[in-house]
């Protein structure tokens, strides 16, 4: 019983960590409206705020 619970919790935690890692690698979060945007975008799809660093 306890082993089954630990396995389920382990799967959920591992899925959470992988999802957060993937999101961080694939998307930018707009500093203006906090919307997730694909890294290929230069401007936020919701508010139009610039997503790229001006130093580049």
Locate the domains of the chain by residue range.
Answer: 1-56
Q: The whole model's pTM is what?
A: 0.62
- Dist CA 52 CA 40 (whole Å): 10
pLDDT beyond 80 at 54: no
Contact in structure between 23 and 16 (CB atoms under 8 Å): no
Query: Residue 6 — φ and ψ, nearest 5°?
Result: -65, -40
Please give the pLDDT value at position 55.
37
Q: Where are the alpha helices (DSSP H) in 1-56?
A: 2-26
| pLDDT tens-digit readout, 18-46 | 999 999 899 999 988 999 999 999 999 99
């Amino acid at each position: 019983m306890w082993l089954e619970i630990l396995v389920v919790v382990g799967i959920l935690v591992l899925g959470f960590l992988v999802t957060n890692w993937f999101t961080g690698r694939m998307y930018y979060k707009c500093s203006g409206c906090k919307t997730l945007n694909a890294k290929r975008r230069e401007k936020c799809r919701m508010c139009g705020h610039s997503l790229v660093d001006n130093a580049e």
